[in-house]
Amino acid sequence: MSDFIRFFIPIYFVLFFAVSFLGISIAVANKIGKNPNVLPKDGSAYALVGWYFKIILAVLFIYTILPLVFPTVGEDLKIHLFDRNFFRYTGIGLMLIAFIWVVIAQIQMKTSWRIGIDNHMKTELVTTGLFQYSRNPVFLGMTLSLIGFFFTFPTVIAFFLLITGNILMQIQIRLEEEHLLRQHGSVYFAYKKRVARMLNLY
């Protein structure tokens, strides 16, 4: 099982970012004629959030690749309470579900997909498909993916990535909500009242 996880995790995240970030971004860029990555590069607080996102992604990528070269990496940092096959299988399942969920959500966003907040082009408010159940299905999927990663490889570093990544996503969600409220007004306000931030449980 440990050998499978050692190869599964890096392959998973390489595919995850290749498809859900690079692939989707290229497809959207071809349709709208601009790069959908609109994270600011100035000295603003929002730009700092984007910079932290990039650091977390870099750490995640390095940390998932290391076991391929050093099979015992992280063994001394394991949280033994979660070091059980039940959690490992659950984690793998969550990661696979999250991957499919995120890609479906991005496809349903069509040309509204952005990495960051687009202040120059008005995007359509998507409220159908997975967006009937979650206002932020992409962030929900990314959160599930990090939870699955922690269950599959339960180390202190994986837990740190889960907590830090979730905090940054929650900040980004709130910034995007303010932007969408300014852009779509009462239509977004009504949608916000109808659909939960992460997942409708009723």
Rounded to whole angstroms, the maximal C-alpha distance in the chain is 54
| Amino acid 71: pLDDT | 86
Residue tagged 């300014």 (tokens): 182
Quote the percentage of the chain above a pLDDT of 70: 100
pLDDT at 7 over 90: yes
74 token code pair: 């992280």
- SS3 percent helix, strand, coil of the chain, rounded to 5, is 75, 0, 25
pLDDT, one tens digit per residue, over 84-115 is 999 999 999 999 999 999 999 999 999 999 99
**Torsion sign over Cα 40, 41, 43, 45:** positive
Q: Where in the chain are the domains?
A: 3-194
φ and ψ at 179, to 5 degrees?
-65, -45
| Amino acid 2: pLDDT | 79
pLDDT, one tens digit per residue, over 61-88 is 999 999 888 888 888 899 999 999 999 9
Q: What is d(CA 170, CA 201) in angstroms, rounded to the nearest whole number?
A: 19
Q: Which CATH class is domain 3-194?
A: mainly alpha
pLDDT at 33 over 70: yes
Residue range 138-162: mean pLDDT, rounded = 97
pLDDT at 1 over 90: no
Q: For all residues of the chain together, what is the average pLDDT?
A: 95
